[in-house]
Amino acid sequence: MEHYNMNLTLKVWRQKNKNDQGRFETLQAKNISSEMSFLEMFDVVNEELINEGKEPIAFDHDCREGICGMCSMHINGRAHGPWEGTTTCQLHMRAFKDGDTIVVEPWRAGAFPVLKDLTVDRSAFDRIIEAGGYVSVNTGNAQDANNIPVEKHKADLAFAAAACIGCGACVAACKNSSAMLFVSAKVSQLALLPQGHPERRTRALNMVAQMDKEGFGSCTNTGACEAECPKEISLTNIARLNREFINAGFTSEK
Amino acid sequence: MLNAKIPAGPLNTKWENYKGHCKLVNPANKRNLEIIVIGTGLAGASAAASLGELGYKVKAFCFQDSPRRAHSIAAQGGINAAKNYQNDGDSVYRLFYDTVKGGDYRAREANVHRLAEVSGNIIDQCVAQGVPFAREYGGLLSNRSFGGTQVQRTFYAAGQTGQQLLLGAYSALERQVALGNVTMYSRHEMLDIVKIDGKARGIIARDLISGKLERHFGHAVLICSGGYGNVFYLSTNAMGSNVTAAWKATQNGAFFANPCFTQIHPTCIPVSGDHQSKLTLMSESLRNDGRIWVPKKKDDNRKASDIPEDERDYYLERRYPAFGNLVPRDVASRAAKERCDAGYGVGTSKQAVYLDFAAAIERYGTIEASKRQMHGVSKEEIIKLGKEVVAEKYGNLFDMYAKITGENPYETPMRIYPAVHYTMGGLWVDYELQTTVPGLYSLGEANFSDHGANRLGASALMQGLADGYFVIPYTIGNYLADEIRTKAIPTDHPAFAEAESKVRDRIAKLMSIKGTKSVDYFHKKLGKIMWDKCGMARNEQGLKEAIEEIKALRADFYKDVRIPGDANEFNPELEKAGRVADFLELGELMCIDALNRRESCGGHFREESQTEEGEAKRDDENFSYVAAWEYKGPSDYVLHKEELVFEEVKPTQRSYK
């Protein structure tokens, strides 16, 4: 792989806090190696800002290996930037070339208020899980793990849905700011496994109700969520959620 | 001499006996007892959820924006359990034995046996929660091998086992939040422990968004804040992983045990330049199928594919025929370092070895072709089938490797090198997981208890969940049963005011320095000292130098660090500064501990103490103890010893040949 260095122009969203109006700031990123990750490029820019006595850019990040779901940058109009199936932290600078201008914004959604610069509040996702994204089994209640065989195909589908990292890119990518892909991933995982069956109806109803309450929009099947999802969560999960939801509504005994 | 409060009786009945005789708290009293949990990784989330289910009033804290982001999420390969589903001779005793031996006989037998006993329950619990472990076509759970064992006892979910286990524990936690049994404080960082009459009674936490300091009361406090590998700056830990919670406990009288026991993981993506912010692990599970090699010729600059089979040195298979590529991590790391130091390293930096999947791809392809009754297929076809199988097993890891390095590991061997990954040392705890401060507990990687001087792969997830789901719910009752008469202490108590003003002063001091260098500047410097002198190999002279260098760096930090912004707002640089300040003290203690332990054991390799073949040489006569350090002030520590008594396993020179 050929290594190269580049100079870039960044247009970054700066916003002091929730109440500030915010604006774009233009910055220069000099001598950036193609081997750096996108966030390492931000480290370099921040180091420079600190040395100049300015405030560094606040952004969320933690594991830097694409699994914790904390990083969340909207890069050149795309959630997590130009690479498919990739989180911001795994995007590397070889995706860009010398002289490029890169526009970086926070997730834009009413349900994800900006806290500072590129950092947003995603606690709405936790509250959706609280509404039913679990199996009600207390510690110590479990039977032997191999007592219930699970068809491999279904286990694999459940795993694919469970790979969601809760980053919120689906919401950021959606013109309606819908959280359907996130909700459907959890509902699907538990609907596909026998362990999730006793609560599948209430789960679908309650999680969708909470999603609406948090102010996420409706799904119009555009598919931007699937296209931008760093874990490539499939749109078929939304179809499954719709089935679960309708079925729960029709067959509710309450 | 420290008393670990190990129950009497034969090893395999200790835990049963303990559970049968420990004190209980009745449900009505549990509702009035408050427990604070710091950290929401596997240990913290499982503890908070389980204690909430029991009816205690729990407050859980994490510095991330959601409890689901704790660094347990990044664990890749798997979780061990003595289920013996494979009928290959596994048992509780085997898991216990492998763990004690793997830890180079520096772990406490009773704890390890308990860990092995509850390991099966963990798998049951996780499956019941809907954790999608890998399965076979018959619908039953699949297993694979990990280092340091000769059975298949590792349960996994592709290369995302930690993620799936943590999301299971997180969902249990969120269920308790919904029920009102747990109150969750995200984006909060614990900055001090509050002690009243010698007992832990609460914490001071900073709301990371508003910058406000908060006082929280608890009848007990659980430190589940993970390990301190980030003292090295470059490690496989998350950027935010830190020692601060554990270090505040240490400053408040909890002893810190075996700080020098650090795990350097053999298979990580090598450093690519000065800009590097973290290192990425390639799961040990890859050693099930990958073969590690270097060229037989020194400074061989040919491409891997141009080096014929008989000019490759599969050095692990050569040196350790019984375990081959699946030797424990400490052994594999040292062997890689040895080859690179001797001039056989590969890649531009020459600080790397190959991890090659060509043989595995061909083997799996052949099996797949046979399964599908395909006869006389071409080699290309077999390789294509083989790649599909390898992708199913390790796809996410291969993708990650490709994104980071720009190379395709299905075509060319991975280049790997050891990196800091895990810390076996941590807060000293007794059998009940209580530190030397009454009411202050420590669970998971934050404590020191179960892995001795080297942790076996897939055992960290097991320990975190064992502590949280199956140990603390019993042992904390034994303490809280005597606290039922203690009413919640109002947080205007002088001890809270004093602790808060201490924290306020510390923050003010950091903000007032207004120096010229960033926090990262100091962190990188510290990391380099630690890696060079307290890393994979250590010696007396280097450690002595390191101690002086760290002292000087710490003095410079307090003179010249620059923290922009304000303390009363969201300020990531201030958060980092507080954490690095604590690392600057811990790093020194690690070197003091490494200097004191004049033997090699597990991940702690003192160059002065090695066998003729270059293996770690223990000194059981003088060092068969846990070194627990009492904090008296910066650079001022007192050593306490817990003698290790081996009743079941007889310590021998560890051999994987």
> Looking up tokens 């006082």, which residue turns up?
B215
Query: Quick one: tokens of B142?
Result: 């699949």
- pLDDT of residue B579 exceeding 80, the answer is yes
Is B132 close to A116, i.e. CB distance below 8 A? no
Residues 6+ apart with CB under 8 A from B114: B14, B15, B466, B471
B164 chain-A contacts, CB cut-off 8 A = 159, 162
- Residues of chain A with Cβ-Cβ distance to B137 below 8 Å are 152
Tokens of residue A202, six digits: 């209430």
Cβ-Cβ contacts under 8 Å between A and B: the total is 221
Distance from CA of B473 to the nearest CA of A (A): 10
Please indicate if any CB of chain B lies within 8 Å of the CB of A21.
Answer: no
> Which of B69, B135, B139 faces A62 most closely, judged by CB atoms?
B69
Lookup: tokens for B340: 């690179």
Residue of B nearest to A122 (CA): B65
Residue B324 confidence (pLDDT) above 90: yes
Burial class (CB in 10 A: 0-12, 13-18, 19+), A85: middle
Residue in B49, B74, B125 nearest the CB of A68? B74
Which residues 26-85 of A have a C-beta within 8 angstroms of B? 33, 35-37, 39-40, 43-44, 47, 49-51, 53-56, 58, 60-70, 83, 85
Q: So what's the pLDDT on residue B627?
A: 98
Dist CA B207 CA B570 (whole Å): 9
The answer for residues whose C-beta is within 8 angstroms of residue A248's C-beta and 6 or more apart is: A200, A201, A202, A204, A205
Contact (Cβ atoms closer than 8 angstroms) between residue B114 and residue B320: no
Mean of pLDDT values over B563-585: 97
pLDDT band at A254 (very low <50, low <70, confident <90, very high): low
Per CB-CB distance under 8 Å, the chain B contacts of A128 are: none
- Is the CB of B569 less than 8 angstroms away from the CB of A165? no
Compare all CA atoms of chain B with the CA of A64 and give the residue at the minimum distance. B238
CB contact under 8 A, B573 and A70: no
pLDDT exceeds 80 at position A252: no
What pLDDT is attached to residue B396? 86
Reported ipTM: 0.98
Residue B194 pLDDT > 90, yes or no?
A: yes
Sheet with B57-61, strands from edge to edge, namely B182-185, B57-61, B34-38, B220-223, B440-442
Give alpha helix (H) positions in B377-518: 379-405, 460-465, 472-480, 494-513
Q: Which residues pair with A74 in a beta bridge?
A: A79, A105
Q: How far is B91 from chain A (nearest CA, A)?
A: 16
DSSP B543-578: HHHHHHHHHHHHHHHHHHB---S-TTS--HHHHHHH
Task: Return the SS3 of B350.
Answer: coil
The model's pLDDT over B28-75, given as tens digits with 9 standing for 90+, comes to 999 999 999 999 999 999 999 999 999 999 999 999 999 999 999 999
Amino acid sitting at position B573: E
Please write the tens of the pLDDT for every residue from A176-190.
999 999 999 999 999
**Rounded Cα distance, B290 and B110, in Å:** 35
Contacts of residue B242, defined as CB under 8 A and 6 or more positions apart, other chains included, come to B225, B228, B230, B579, B582, B583
- Contact of B427 with B250, CB cutoff 8 Å: yes
Nearest chain B residue (CA) to A31: B275
Say if residue A1's pLDDT is above 60.
no
Question: Does the beta-carbon distance from A136 to B136 stay under 8 Å?
Answer: no
Across chain B, which distance is largest between two alpha carbons, in Å? Answer: 83
Longest CA–CA separation in chain A, Å = 65
**Taking CB atoms and an 8 Å limit, are A159 and B163 in contact across chains?**
no
Q: pLDDT tens for residues B597-632?
A: 999 999 999 999 999 988 999 999 999 999 999 999
Residue type, B540: E
Interchain CB distance below 8 Å, B125 and A139: yes
CA separation (Å) from B68 to A225, B168, B186?
Answer: 21, 10, 10
User: How distant is the Cα of B599 from the closest Cα of chain A, in angstroms?
Assistant: 34
CB contact under 8 A, A142 and B121: yes
* pLDDT attached to residue B77: 86
Split at pLDDT 50, 70, 90, the class of B488 is very high
Nearest CA in chain B to A161: B132
Sequence-ordered list of residues with C-beta below 8 angstroms from that of B25, at least 6 positions apart, any chain: B33, B477, B480, B481, B484
Q: Using one digit for the tens of pLDDT, what is the confidence trace for B155-193?
A: 999 889 999 999 999 999 999 999 999 999 999 999 999
Per-residue confidence at A21, pLDDT binned at 50, 70, 90?
Answer: very high
Q: How many CB atoms lie within 10 A of CB B638?
A: 10
Cross-chain Cβ contact B400/A66 below 8 Å: yes
Strand partners, A62: none
High-pLDDT (> 70) share of chain B, %: 100
Task: Give the pLDDT confidence of B383-425 residue by residue, as tens digits.
Answer: 999 999 999 888 889 999 999 999 999 999 999 999 999 999 9
State the average pLDDT over residues B534-559: 98
Phi, psi of B630 (to 5 degrees): -95, 130
Catalytically annotated residues of B: 329
Nearest alpha-carbon partner for A178 in A235, A118, A94, A140 = A235
pLDDT attached to residue B284: 87
Q: How many CB atoms lie within 10 A of CB A242?
A: 17
Contacts of B162 in chain A (CB under 8 A): 67
**Mode of pairing for the β-strands spanning B220-223 and B440-442:** parallel
Higher pLDDT pick, A32 / A3: A32
The residue type of B11 is: L
Amino acid at B44: G
> To the nearest whole angstrom, how far is the Cα of B512 from the nearest Cα of chain A?
14
CB contact under 8 A, A129 and B171: yes
CB contacts, 8 Å: A94 with chain B? 406
Contact between B69 and A43 using a beta-carbon 8 Å cutoff = no
Q: Give the helix/strand (H/E) hosting B111.
A: helix B109-129
What pLDDT score was predicted for residue A2? 74
Whether residue B174 and residue A133 make contact (CB cut-off 8 A), yes or no, is: yes
Q: What is the dihedral of CA B54, B60, B65, B70, to 10 degrees?
A: -80
- Nearest-5° angle of CA A5, CA A11, CA A12? 105
Q: How far apart are CA A184 and CA A198, in angstroms?
A: 17
Q: Mean pLDDT across the stretch A33-50?
A: 96
* Cβ contact B305:B356 at 8 Å: no
Is A227 an 8 Å CB contact of chain B? Answer: no
Q: What are phi and psi of A249, to 5 degrees?
A: -65, -45
A129–B174: do the CB atoms touch at under 8 Å?
Answer: yes
Interface-testing mutation among A46, A65, A107, with chain B (most B C-beta atoms within 10 A): A65
A153 touches chain B (CB under 8 A): no
Q: Chain A interface, mutation test: which of B133, B174, B397, most A Cβ atoms within 10 Å? A: B174
> Distance between alpha carbon B264 and the CA centroid of its chain, in Å?
11
Residues B632-655 have pLDDT tens digits of: 999 999 999 999 999 999 999 888
Q: Is the minimum CB–CB distance between A98 and chain B shorter than 8 Å?
A: no
Question: Is the pLDDT confidence value at B18 over 60?
Answer: yes
Nearest CB partner across the interface for A151, out of B125, B139, B281: B139
A125 near B CB under 8 A: yes
Per-residue pLDDT of A201-219, as tens digits, reads 999 999 999 999 999 999 9
Neighbours of B427 (CB within 10 A): 29
Q: Name the nearest CA neighbour of B329 among B287, B392, B381.
A: B287
Average pLDDT over residues A147-176: 97
The bridge status of strand B57-61 relative to strand B182-185 is parallel
Per-residue pLDDT at B555 exceeds 60: yes
- Give me chain B's average pLDDT, please: 96
In the prediction, which pLDDT does B159 show? 87
User: What's the helix, strand, coil split of chain B in %, to 5?
Assistant: 45, 15, 40
Q: pLDDT at residue B19 above 90?
A: yes
Which residue of A lies nearest to B125 if distances are taken between CA atoms? Answer: A142
Select from A40, A130, A139 the Cβ nearest to the Cβ of B177: A130
pLDDT of residue B377: 92
Going by DSSP bridges, is the β-strand pair B154-155/B188-196 parallel, antiparallel, or unpaired?
unpaired
What tens digit of pLDDT does each residue of B439-466 get? Answer: 999 999 999 989 999 999 999 999 999 9
For testing contact with chain A, the best of B53, B69, B188, B398 (most A CBs within 10 A): B69
In A169-188, the residues whose Cβ lies within 8 Å of chain B are none
Per-residue tokens: A27: 């910055």
Taking only the tens place, the pLDDT of each residue in A89-138 is 999 999 999 999 999 999 999 999 999 999 999 999 999 999 999 999 99
Asked if B184's CB is within 8 angstroms of A126's CB, the reply is yes
Query: Kind and range of the H or E element at B110?
Result: helix B109-129
The token duo for A4 is: 């190269």
**What pLDDT, on a 0 to 100 scale, did the predictor assign at position A175?**
97
Alpha-carbon span B125 to B131, nearest angstrom: 9
Minimum-distance CB partner of B53 among A139, A158, A159: A139
Contacts of A140 in chain B (CB under 8 A): 121, 125, 469-470
B548 Cβ contact partners less than 8 Å away, ≥ 6 residues apart = none
Q: What is the mean pLDDT of residues B114-128?
A: 98
A14 at B interface, C-beta within 8 A: no
Residue in chain A closest to B67 (alpha carbons) equals A126
